[in-house]
């Protein structure tokens, strides 16, 4: 049984673009929603039958990340939509857009820092300060508007693991405070 209830609440969201730099993206109204997707290959054998797998081979996992921001930087949002490049015209496809492999080109790093654990003494010691994903691709996003003003931004990313040559492993995310907080700008 858990020793403490973790109520992490809102988070400050940061995006690292492949064109360079880590930018403050916005404030997530609620805690970010993460849904893991597990990939398995089934192994069939006469012992289990023709249609029932005897075993499953783990073939990795992805995370679907959904967040709703009530305070966000429109320039960073447009850069994410443009494939992670700040100076590209939003809504314009380049010759590399179609048929391009996304890793290292149109993916972004996604980092969030929980705001509630920053209040000293109110949170259990085992609560992570935040999380950093190394390769995220924008799946969908929409702006909730009142008149001509965007009031909320809801977006969904898919995080895929990247190969880390030093550890010889595929890394999906890190919750190590030294990794999560490295190079983050201060929110305005």
Residue-range domain boundaries for the chain? 11-180
Q: Bigger pLDDT: 67 or 92?
A: 67
Supply 34's token pair: 């993460």
pLDDT in tens, 137-158: 889 988 888 888 878 899 999 9
For residue 99, is pLDDT > 70? no
Q: Bigger pLDDT: 72 or 91?
A: 72
Could you report how far apart the first and last alpha carbons of the chain are, in Å? 39
- pTM here is 0.80
Class of domain 11-180: mainly beta
Tell me the backbone φ, ψ of residue 80, rounded to 5 degrees.
-65, -45
């Amino acid at each position: 049984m858990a020793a403490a209830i973790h109520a992490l609440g809102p988070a400050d969201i940061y995006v690292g673009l492949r064109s360079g730099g880590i930018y403050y993206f916005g404030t997530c109204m609620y805690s970010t929603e993460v849904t893991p997707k597990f990939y398995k290959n089934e192994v069939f054998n006469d012992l289990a039958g023709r249609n029932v797998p005897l075993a499953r081979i783990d073939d990795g996992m992805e995370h679907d990340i959904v967040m709703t921001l009530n305070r966000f930087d429109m320039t960073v949002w447009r850069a994410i939509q443009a494939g992670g490049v700040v100076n590209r015209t939003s809504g314009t496809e380049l010759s590399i857009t179609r048929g391009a492999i996304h890793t290292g080109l149109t993916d972004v790093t996604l980092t969030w820092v929980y705001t509630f654990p920053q209040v000293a003494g109110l949170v259990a010691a085992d609560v992570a300060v935040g999380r950093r994903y190394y390769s995220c691709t924008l799946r969908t996003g929409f702006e909730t508007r009142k008149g001509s003003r965007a009031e909320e931004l809801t977006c969904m990313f898919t995080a895929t693991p990247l190969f880390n040559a030093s550890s010889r492993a595929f890394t999906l995310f890190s919750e190590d405070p030294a990794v999560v907080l490295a190079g983050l700008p201060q929110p305005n």
